[in-house]
């Protein structure tokens, strides 16, 4: 168990500690639970304004100690990213930007007492790091993101790895590198399933991971693992239950991505429902079987289980918190929710705001303004989602996507170098929200320099 994982049932049942002492009892307490892209951006902006001027006490709660932009996790899993150059320490960010970081996982909520309940955290030896405790709030913002939905499929928990967290992405990469080393040093030939990767779910994460793995696995083998033949021994299979990959994006983007992946040698299975994940591969509902010892589950999203245990707050069938146009939960005006964990209404559409990084970024900016209005006693304004399109990066091979609203409100498909630059700019916008442009420019330059002196894939 890592030091980011939480204690067991016995520890959770312990007597809670008293709420933490406040530095100024008169300050309005804004607590943000979840240090993902949206939560961390919101805490940073509120800290730089309300926190710095002493107008409110800003606290960020997360069960991990470090942050990485979630759309980059497929690069970590493939081994094409040096995490040390991109991760951010919550304690450091809190110190620099005038908010408080509280390490722990939310396991409950007392709305009457206005307290968030945190589980104790334990280290690898089972020793307590932080105790079970409560964090008081006046305004609570929940931004805990989403997790993959395995739909109760047998074997997923035992034999597949999701890419919800940095720890999971690093775990898959270690398994991948170890599998290549094992195949190189073993006495017998490479087994059919030994270096096969099955990716279940062909949304953006699954499709991007398939393209990235095609390059990185061959790069790893090029570092002296000459007993492995990448063309013969490595196979990447992308499995999708819908009739095409990237089912949530326009068909022409799906077609372009299919063409790129097919040319790379990725096997694409559509209209393929998974009935079971086994240690040696993936069983399909139609009786087919895909041999693979490396399985990634990237199909479906839902809210974390804790959202159904938050003192009666309303949730959807997929366990997302139901919020109104102002992003306030339907049963408590003092509790806001945004990002992937919230089902925010989208006027004129049957479905809520989609779980995309651009939505979390927009909602963080909106809540930054609305929470300041709230402190002034003004009513919050409704949030309106603006769809700027979607971009899918297929490694260094190609980037495809569409932009919305740039040509008389119509969609424009882009690809190639321009699309690649725009895809990279999304991450730069996130970094700018956390650090400002001067630091972003310096860190970008530093990464370009160090990349020339390091392997282009993670080898350990």
Q: What is the pLDDT of residues 137-161, one digit of tens each?
A: 999 999 999 999 999 999 999 999 9
* Sign of torsion over alpha carbons 353, 357, 361, 364: positive
CA distances from 122 to 33, 105, 133, 159, 289 (A): 19, 11, 14, 25, 40
CA atoms within 13 A on the CB side of 209: 36
* Sign of torsion over alpha carbons 152, 153, 156, 158: positive
Contact 141, 116 (CB under 8 A): no
pLDDT value, residue 403:
60
Q: Residue 393: enclosing H or E segment and its boundaries?
A: strand 389-394
pTM of the predicted protein model:
0.89
pLDDT of the chain along its 460 residues, tens only?
444 444 443 333 444 454 555 556 689 999 999 999 999 999 999 999 999 999 999 999 999 999 999 999 999 999 988 898 899 999 999 999 999 999 999 999 999 999 999 999 999 999 999 999 999 999 999 999 999 999 999 999 999 999 999 999 999 999 999 999 999 999 988 988 899 999 999 999 999 999 999 989 999 999 889 889 999 999 999 999 999 999 988 898 899 899 999 999 999 999 999 999 999 999 999 999 999 999 999 998 999 999 999 999 999 999 999 999 999 999 999 999 999 999 999 998 999 999 888 999 999 999 999 999 999 999 999 999 998 878 888 876 566 666 654 433 456 667 666 677 877 888 899 999 999 999 889 988 888 887 766 666 666 5
pLDDT value, residue 47:
98
Nearest partner of 35 among 95, 88, 84, judged by Cα: 88
CA distances from 58 to 176, 229, 249, 378, 393 (A): 40, 54, 37, 19, 35
Strands 342-343 and 321-322: parallel
pLDDT value, residue 10:
39
Which residues contact residue 323 at a Cβ distance below 8 angstroms, ignoring those fewer than 6 apart?
Answer: 329, 330, 336, 337, 338, 342, 343, 344, 345
3-state secondary structure of 58: strand
pLDDT value, residue 8:
41
Question: Residue 363 — φ and ψ, nearest 5°?
Answer: -70, -35
């Amino acid at each position: 168990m890592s030091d980011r994982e939480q204690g067991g049932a016995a520890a959770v049942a312990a007597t809670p500690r008293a709420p933490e002492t406040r530095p100024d009892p008169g300050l309005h307490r804004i607590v943000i639970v979840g240090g993902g892209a949206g939560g961390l951006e919101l805490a940073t902006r509120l800290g730089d304004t309300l926190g710095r001027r002493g107008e409110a006490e800003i606290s960020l709660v997360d069960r991990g100690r470090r942050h990485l932009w979630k759309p980059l996790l497929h690069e970590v899993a493939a081994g094409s990213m040096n995490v040390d150059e991109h991760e951010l320490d919550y304690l450091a960010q809190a110190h620099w930007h005038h908010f408080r970081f509280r390490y722990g996982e939310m396991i409950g909520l007392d709305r009457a007492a206005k307290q968030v309940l945190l589980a104790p955290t334990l280290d690898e030896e089972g020793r307590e790091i932080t105790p079970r405790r409560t964090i008081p709030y006046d305004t609570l913002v929940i931004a805990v993101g989403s997790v993959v939905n395995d739909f109760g499929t047998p074997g997923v928990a035992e034999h597949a790895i999701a890419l919800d967290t940095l720890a999971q992405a690093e775990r898959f990469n270690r398994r991948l590198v170890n599998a290549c080393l094992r195949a190189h040093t073993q006495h017998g030939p490479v087994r059919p399933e030994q270096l096969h990767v099955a990716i279940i779910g062909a949304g953006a994460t699954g499709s991007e991971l398939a393209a990235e793995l095609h390059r990185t696995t061959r790069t790893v083998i090029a570092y002296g693992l000459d007993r492995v033949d990448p063309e013969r021994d490595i196979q990447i299979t992308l499995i999708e239950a819908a009739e095409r990959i990237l089912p949530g994006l326009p068909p022409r983007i799906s077609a372009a991505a299919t063409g790129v992946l097919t040319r790379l040698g990725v096997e694409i299975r559509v209209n393929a429902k998974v009935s079971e994940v086994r240690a040696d591969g993936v069983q399909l509902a139609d009786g087919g079987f895909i041999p693979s010892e490396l399985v990634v589950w990237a199909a479906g999203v839902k809210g974390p289980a804790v959202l159904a245990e938050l003192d009666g707050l309303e949730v959807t069938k997929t366990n997302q918190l139901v919020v109104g146009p102002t992003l306030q939960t339907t049963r408590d005006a003092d509790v806001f929710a945004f990002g992937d964990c919230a089902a925010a209404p989208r006027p004129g559409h049957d479905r809520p705001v989609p779980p995309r990084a651009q939505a979390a970024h927009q909602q963080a900016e909106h809540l930054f303004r609305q929470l300041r209005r709230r402190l002034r006693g003004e009513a919050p304004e409704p949030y309106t989602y603006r769809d700027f399109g979607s971009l899918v990066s297929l490694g260094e091979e190609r980037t495809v996507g569409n932009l919305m609203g740039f040509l008389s409100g119509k969609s424009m498909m882009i690809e190639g170098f321009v699309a690649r630059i725009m895809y990279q700019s999304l991450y730069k916008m996130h970094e700018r929200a956390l650090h400002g442009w001067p630091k972003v420019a310096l860190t970008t330059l530093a990464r370009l320099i160090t990349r020339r002196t390091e392997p282009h894939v993670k080898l350990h």
